[in-house]
């Protein structure tokens, strides 16, 4: 089975960190659980990333954009022949990205 390298872009790392800090204000334990869940699911993309559906944002960009749902967040990514690029981590209530 083919393995993809995972590359988390800086803005996605920042969005994950901001979400973690926001959740931590209410519950440090839940924030830590959420954080680990997000990174575990992101790492799962190293196998079969194309199992995830196209994101609604796919219509607005030239590259294929897919999303992975993790709890109430959407992890937006694109996959090449051997790498998965994590583009954004967005709460499900946030508006879709546009060009």
Backbone angles phi, psi at 62, to 5 degrees: -70, -40
Backbone angles phi, psi at 42, to 5 degrees: -60, -45
Total structural domains in the chain? Answer: 1
pLDDT digits (tens, 9 = 90+) for 6-28: 999 999 999 999 999 999 999 99
The enclosing domain of 46 has a CATH number of 3.30.2310.20
Angle at 48 between CA 42 and CA 50, to 5 degrees: 90
Residue 96 lies in a domain: no
Residue 75 lies in a domain: yes
Angle at 32 between CA 78 and CA 54, to 5 degrees: 20
Residue 98 lies in a domain: no
pLDDT digits (tens, 9 = 90+) for 35-81: 999 999 999 999 999 999 999 888 888 889 999 999 999 999 999 99
The domain in which residue 17 lies consists of: 5-91
């Amino acid at each position: 089975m083919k393995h993809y390298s995972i590359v988390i872009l800086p803005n996605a790392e920042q969005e994950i960190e901001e979400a973690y800090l926001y959740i931590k204000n209410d519950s440090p334990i839940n924030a830590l659980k959420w954080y680990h869940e997000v990174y575990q699911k992101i790492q799962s993309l190293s196998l079969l990333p194309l199992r995830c559906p196209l994101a609604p944002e796919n219509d607005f960009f030239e590259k294929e954009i897919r999303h992975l749902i993790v709890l109430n967040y959407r992890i937006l990514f694109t996959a090449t022949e051997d790498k998965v690029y994590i583009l954004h981590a967005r709460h499900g209530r946030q508006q879709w990205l546009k060009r």
